[in-house]
Amino acid sequence: MARTVYVNGDYLPETEARVSIFDRGFLMADGVYEVTSVLDGKLIDFAGHAARLTRSLAELDMAAPVTMDELLTIHRELVARNGINEGMVYLQVTRGNPGDRDFAFPDPAKTPSTLVLFTQDKPGLAANPQAKIGLKVISIDDIRWGRRDIKTVQLLYPSMGKMMAKKAGVDDAWFVEDGFVTEGTSNNAYIVKGNRIITRNLGNEILHGITRAAVLRFAREAQMEVEERAFTLAEAATADEAFITSASAFVMPVVQIDGTAIGTGKPGPVASRLREIYLDEMRKAAV
Ligand code: PLP
């Protein structure tokens, strides 16, 4: 059955959805996005994603196409129409279709932004068996642009990073800049030393993960120490544990970096506990 998707005010079968070839998302990667997970048919941390979307739009002088309340309604409608129990809702806003190609931003009064949403059905998302095995990662140079805090659709280098990982026979890649780990290709990166969780501090160098914010809050509430600072690969190699977070992977252990086993080489207790707490708490607060 064809998915029902949302394009600029209309709910349509995916085969009938259309966006112009002049859309700046297509021509210039001039767009931002969010991915919100769905568990038990409900949205996980919608408020967090809406707040980050608002910030991404503001940083790029892009108008919000609808209010955040309307956006919640659209998310829920798509989840219901597509019968999603576990999965994701992908949302993208672009600077729209000015009718031709031009580097200068169009007048927002004349060129409304484009809003597209679609669902991804992922049964078993929360019970992902990978959480019991952990991920293997390689490190690669972080050559992305300088505003990684804005969640733009320029995902070519992260895609290349995933391909480098695939070619190396591992699951993902961690970006390294000036000797320090920034983040994963599509997730935030952490190491654990004893009761201490270490993750890159917020700045323009990393995406401000919505899952990161929630997990650090839960970690502090569980009396774990949190250090938000840069760490090196050498430090990661001698850590007790490592893990990543993202809206669709939640908390996922990392058991090997560049061929070196981290800790016991198996998912550690801190990552496993944080995953459990995160899923429990977020299910309770889902809307
Ligand atoms: N860092 C990058 C580069 C990402 O692409 C993502 C998610 O797509 C994240 C971190 C994790 O962010 P969130 O927890 O909001 O999904």
Q: For residues 114 and 182, state if they share a domain.
A: no
Q: For residues 89 and 152, state if they share a domain.
A: no
Range of the domain at 89: 4-121
* Tens digits of residue pLDDT in 87-103: 999 999 999 999 999 99
Instruction: List the 87-94 sheet strands across, edge first.
Output: 10-13, 4-7, 114-121, 87-94, 31-39, 42-43
- Ligand 1, atom 1, lies closest to the CA of 187
- For residue 221, the domain's CATH number is 3.20.10.10
At which of 121, 150, 182 does a domain end?
121
* Tens digits of residue pLDDT in 148-178: 999 999 999 999 999 999 999 999 999 999 9
- pLDDT reading at 1 higher than 80: no
Ligand 1 center–CA 202 separation, angstroms: 13
Annotate 97-133 with b (16+ C-beta within 10 A) or e (fewer): bbeeeeeebbeeeebebbbbbbbbebeebbebeebee
Residue labelled with tokens 């801190």:
270
Tokens of 169: 């026979």
Share above pLDDT 90 across residues of the chain, in percent, rounded to a whole number? 99
Tokens of 67: 């209010």
Q: What are the distances in angstroms from CA 204 to CA 41, 66, 183, 243?
A: 34, 27, 12, 21
At which of 99, 121, 143 does a domain end?
121
Ligand 1 center–CA 174 separation, angstroms: 12
Question: With the C-alpha atoms ordered 244, 246, 249, 251, is the resulting torsion angle positive or negative?
Answer: positive
* Tens digits of residue pLDDT in 21-72: 999 999 999 999 999 999 999 999 999 999 999 999 999 999 999 999 999 9
Nearest-atom number in ligand 1 for the CA of 49 is: 15
- For residue 46, the domain's CATH number is 3.30.470.10
Nearest-atom number in ligand 1 for the CA of 207 is: 1
With the most atoms of ligand 1 within 8 angstroms of its CB, the residue from 212, 218, 244, 246 to mutate is 246
Ligand 1: residues whose CB is within 6 Å?
183, 186-188, 207, 209-212, 245-247
Share above pLDDT 70 across residues of the chain, in percent, rounded to a whole number? 100
Q: For residues 168 and 259, state if they share a domain.
A: yes
- pLDDT reading at 245 higher than 90: yes
* Tens digits of residue pLDDT in 207-242: 999 999 999 999 999 999 999 999 999 999 999 999
At which of 102, 121, 140 does a domain end?
121
Q: How far apart are the first and last CA of the chain?
A: 26
Return the SS3 of 255. strand
Q: For residues 152 and 211, state if they share a domain.
A: yes
Return the SS3 of 20. coil
Is 151 a known active-site residue?
yes
Ligand 1 center–CA 283 separation, angstroms: 19
With the most atoms of ligand 1 within 8 angstroms of its CB, the residue from 52, 186, 211, 215 to mutate is 186
Ligand 1 center–CA 207 separation, angstroms: 6
3-state DSSP percent of the chain in helix, strand and coil, to 5: 30, 30, 40
Ligand 1 center–CA 209 separation, angstroms: 5
- Ligand 1, atom 5, lies closest to the CA of 186
Closest by CA to 151, choosing from 229, 217, 88, 92, is 92
pLDDT score at 273: 98
Q: For residues 148 and 268, state if they share a domain.
A: yes
* Over residues 117-142, mean pLDDT: 98
Q: For residues 190 and 256, state if they share a domain.
A: yes
With the most atoms of ligand 1 within 8 angstroms of its CB, the residue from 120, 188, 190, 278 to mutate is 188
* Over residues 5-13, mean pLDDT: 98
Ligand 1 center–CA 175 separation, angstroms: 13
Q: How many domains does the chain have?
A: 2
Pairing status of strand 241-246 against strand 188-193: antiparallel
Return the SS3 of 91. strand
Q: Choose the catalytic residue: 42, 132, 136, 151.
A: 151
Nearest-atom number in ligand 1 for the CA of 188 is: 10
